[in-house]
């Protein structure tokens, strides 16, 4: 069984300020990475993190950093003593400095974080909330380190400020047979830190029993958000760029935050099935992700997106000849007149795809109640089928027919909408 971590991201901050100290590194000498006359800028490299569920410590031991220019020799910075940093102590916009010194100006195509991660737990490790400890291993790390492939530019005698943000939910996995060690893999994006903003908010509604909440972030306006899937095509614009677990309290509100975001539009989505999201595959039939809002991030500003939840429920009158084990109610976002069955190969623009479905166990007796909880306010459609057994989620199945269909169902915050079928 895979064990994985849900998280909004670790952030690595690259900042520069003209402090006038000497350069350190391998191969640069008196020339820049581009081979021109020497010009130095100050770089500060820090690591930061945000809250993560299921873990009490994520400790990474850094031994140095290597900066690879687009031309010229690498700039290697080796720490006199390894820096052991518990990333869970660097939450929100806090950060821990790795180094602060001049480097040659120029364009760089890659950053390598040199870490001690041999899987034994003596160096880098993750400790889960139940107390179990798993050493971390960087695949091919002995040869390449933790490679973050993102270009950045250090202007001559200038000031730069970048953030490399990589997602722990995708970066840490514990594949079957790998244990007790877990893999630490790069999953990164580069942003200019001088122009980034934040998104934060609250889950203002009470969460239903059994809910494992997750807030997902998407680049741009996304109408059909998807769960984490490392195997998704690079052109899939419905893939999240980050996710986080709201800070748990005994009662609402529950807080969440996304930091170091470049300016532009973003979509926030919410699910109560975050524990069912395997980041290495699509989990369309088990993860209900509903867009909450689209907001625009501005430099140095924090946008607030609060999440209020409602529900949609009712009873089904089972048609004659329908086997309860083959019956199911499907949920759709918006007004849908031609509902479709699950189909993971459908284009991401297909608005007739369901966002959730549920049925009853074989032998269940009337009344046949159904309920979709933790829905963001909006308009929904529910549809009933007696051919759910024919629904192969990997393809379209014409044999799955829907009737009755009820569309235009308005869900409001902290209220239950009733829709009986028929």
CATH of the domain at 325: 2.60.40
**Model confidence pLDDT, tens digit, residues 53-83:** 567 788 888 899 898 999 888 999 999 999 8
Cis peptide before 180 (omega within 30 of 0): yes
Tokens in use for 337? 């007149």
Choosing from 304, 334, 369, the residue where a domain stops is 304
Choosing from 304, 330, 353, the residue where a domain stops is 304
Residues 124 and 189 in one domain: yes
Residues 153 and 47 in one domain: yes
pLDDT band at 187 (very low <50, low <70, confident <90, very high): low
**Measured distance CA(188)–CA(22) in Å, rounded:** 29
The full 3-state SS of 239-284, as one line of letters, equals CCCEEECCECCCCCCEEEEEEEECCEEEEEEEECEHHHCCCCCCCC
Rounded percentage of the chain residues whose pLDDT exceeds 90: 30
Residues 11 and 91 in one domain: yes
Residue-level pLDDT at 120: 81
Residue-level pLDDT at 294: 92
Report the Cα 109 to chain-centroid distance in Å: 24
Residues 160 and 262 in one domain: no
pLDDT above 90: residue 337: yes
Residues 261 and 406 in one domain: no
Residue 188, SS3?
strand
Choosing from 271, 304, 337, the residue where a domain stops is 304
Domain total of the chain: 3
**Model confidence pLDDT, tens digit, residues 289-319:** 888 899 999 988 899 999 999 999 999 999 9
Residues 295 and 345 in one domain: no
Q: Which residue has the higher pLDDT, 17 or 253?
A: 253
pLDDT above 90: residue 171: no
Residues 282 and 179 in one domain: no
Query: What one-character DSSP code corresponds to residue 194?
Result: G
Q: Which helix (H) or strand (E) holds 168?
A: helix 168-171
**257: domain range?**
197-304
Residues 73 and 201 in one domain: no
pLDDT band at 382 (very low <50, low <70, confident <90, very high): very high
**Model confidence pLDDT, tens digit, residues 392-408:** 988 999 999 999 999 99
Residue-level pLDDT at 27: 35
pLDDT band at 167 (very low <50, low <70, confident <90, very high): low
Residues 253 and 397 in one domain: no
Residues 13 and 154 in one domain: yes
Query: What one-character DSSP code corresponds to residue 326?
Result: G
Residues 284 and 314 in one domain: no
Residues 15 and 60 in one domain: yes
Residue 103 in contact with residue 29, Cβ under 8 Å?
A: no
């Amino acid at each position: 069984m895979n064990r994985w971590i849900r998280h909004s991201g670790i952030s690595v901050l690259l900042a520069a300020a003209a402090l006038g100290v000497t350069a350190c590194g391998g191969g640069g000498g008196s020339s820049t990475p581009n081979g021109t006359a020497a010009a130095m800028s100050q770089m500060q490299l820090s690591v930061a993190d945000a809250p993560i569920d299921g873990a009490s410590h994520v400790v990474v031991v850094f031994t140095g950093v290597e900066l690879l220019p687009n031309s010229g020799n690498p700039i290697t910075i080796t720490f006199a003593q390894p820096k052991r940093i518990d990333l869970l102590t660097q939450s929100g916009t806090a950060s821990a400095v790795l180094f602060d010194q001049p480097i040659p100006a120029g364009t760089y195509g890659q950053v390598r974080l040199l870490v001690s991660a041999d899987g034994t737990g003596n160096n880098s490790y993750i400790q889960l909330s139940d107390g179990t400890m798993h050493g971390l291993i960087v695949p091919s790390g002995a040869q390449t380190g933790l490679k973050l492939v993102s270009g950045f530019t250090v202007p001559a005698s200038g000031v730069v400020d970048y953030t490399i943000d990589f997602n722990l939910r995708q970066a840490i996995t514990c594949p079957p047979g790998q244990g007790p060690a877990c893999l630490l893999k790069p999953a990164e994006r580069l942003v200019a830190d001088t122009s980034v903003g934040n998104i934060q908010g609250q889950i203002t509604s009470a969460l239903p029993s059994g809910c494992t909440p997750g807030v997902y972030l998407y680049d741009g306006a996304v109408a059909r958000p998807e769960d984490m899937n490392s195997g998704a095509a690079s052109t899939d614009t419905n893939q999240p760029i980050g996710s986080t677990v709201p800070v748990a309290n005994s009662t609402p509100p529950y807080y969440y935050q996304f930091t170091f975001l470049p300016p532009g539009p973003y979509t926030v989505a919410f699910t109560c099935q975050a524990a069912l999201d395997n980041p290495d595959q699509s989990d369309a039939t088990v993860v209900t992700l509903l867009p909450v809002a689209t907001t625009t991030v501005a430099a140095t500003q924090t946008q607030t997106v609060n999440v209020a939840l409602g529900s949609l429920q009712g009873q089904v009158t089972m048609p004659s000849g329908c086997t309860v084990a083959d019956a199911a109610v499907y949920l759709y976002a918006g007004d849908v007149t031609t509902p479709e069955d699950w189909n993971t190969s459908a284009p991401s623009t297909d608005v007739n795809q369901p966002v959730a479905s549920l049925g009853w166990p074989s032998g269940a007796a009337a009344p046949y109640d159904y309920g979709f909880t933790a829905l963001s306010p909006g308009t929904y459609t529910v549809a009933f089928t007696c051919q759910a057994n024919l629904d192969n989620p990997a393809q379209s199945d014409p044999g799955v027919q829907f009737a009755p269909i009820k569309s235009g169902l308005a869900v409001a915050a902290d209220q239950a909408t009733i829709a009986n079928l028929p």
